[in-house]
Structure 1
């Protein structure tokens, strides 16, 4: 869920059947704001709160990267 207004561009927002806003995921399951070559967020300064809580370089982050590589 996008909990607060951080300025996420509309093109990266999906709305669920209850009207909740989430980050758009593409057919491959990855966030639409993720650059597939660098694995860096293209909207880092405007990323939503859950993404801010996901610490870059943490064990959880490295595990997710390993799944997608």
Structure 2
């Protein structure tokens, strides 16, 4: 399923890919290469992040996912302009002056 931006939501036109800073739990069936993942202290396999908190799969030059066609299932289910996207975006806009938080939800 490919997410399509809602033209009625202007935030999508200037998306900062804040979802690419969320913790992404990887399932074995996702078949993500090991060099793109890490283990949490709780033993979960997650997408690794760079020093600034971005998912290591993001292409920073183009601000897009470098493994888009093979991205984890949870990323496939994250709908652009959906309720969760808008909540994450709102939190990002509220905290911009302090920087983007590395973990939005516990």
**TM-score of the pair, normalised by structure 2:** 0.51
Computed over aligned residues only, the root mean square deviation of the Cα atoms, in angstroms, reads 2.7
More helix by share: 2
1:37 to 61, 79, 82: 61
After superposition, what is the alpha-carbon deviation per residue over 1:35-55, rounded to whole angstroms, capped at 9, x for unaligned? 112111111122112111112
| Structure 2 runs not aligned, ≥5 long | 1-24, 101-106
Is 2:97 the counterpart of 1:47?
no
After superposition, what is the alpha-carbon deviation per residue over 1:5-49, rounded to whole angstroms, capped at 9, x for unaligned? 222111110111222100101111110000112111111122112
The question of whether the paired residues in 2 share the 8 Å contact of 1:4 and 1:48 is answered with no
List 4+ stretches of structure 1 deviating above 4 A: 64-68
2:46 is matched with 22
2:29 is matched with 5
